Amino acid sequence: MIATLVDALTAALILLGAAFALIGSVGLVRLPDIFTRLHGPTKATTLGVGSILLGSILFFSARHGLSLHEVLVTLFLFLTAPVSAHLIARAALHRHCKSLAPPPEDSDHHARVHSDKQ
């Protein structure tokens, strides 16, 4: 009874996580510019992988006693995803990648950057 319940919960978590990872990758392909494309992988994919790792914790805890190794991977991913997203966004700003957002009205910096570029 308990084993069936644990298996069902594990299956649900794994499927949910894989669906979220797929949604993140679809966002990576379909969104129009780099600054919007950053949203898909850094949020949806991280959440999906976290869900898969939660399912793994449940699965192995039910069979071999409490196993919390996967928490390490989850913690590491949740700590590093924002850092790498920040660095990629800064690199994109530095290279003047095409952005959909209009520049702010009252910003000298943007005016200077755009006049430099032309």
- Can you give the binding site for another protein, defined by CB under 8 A? 7-8, 10-12, 14-15, 17-19, 21-22, 24-26, 28-29, 34, 37-38, 41, 45-46, 48-49, 52-53, 55-56, 59-60, 63-64, 67, 69-70, 72-73, 76-77, 80-81, 83-84, 87-88, 90-92, 94-95, 97-98
Q: For residue 33, what is the DSSP state?
A: S
**Residue 118 corresponds to which tokens in the numbers above?**
């032309």
Residue nearer to another protein on the CB measure, 26 or 111: 26
Q: For residue 45, what is the DSSP state?
A: I
| Type and span of the H or E element at 16 | helix 2-30
SS3 100: coil
Residue nearer to another protein on the CB measure, 29 or 106: 29
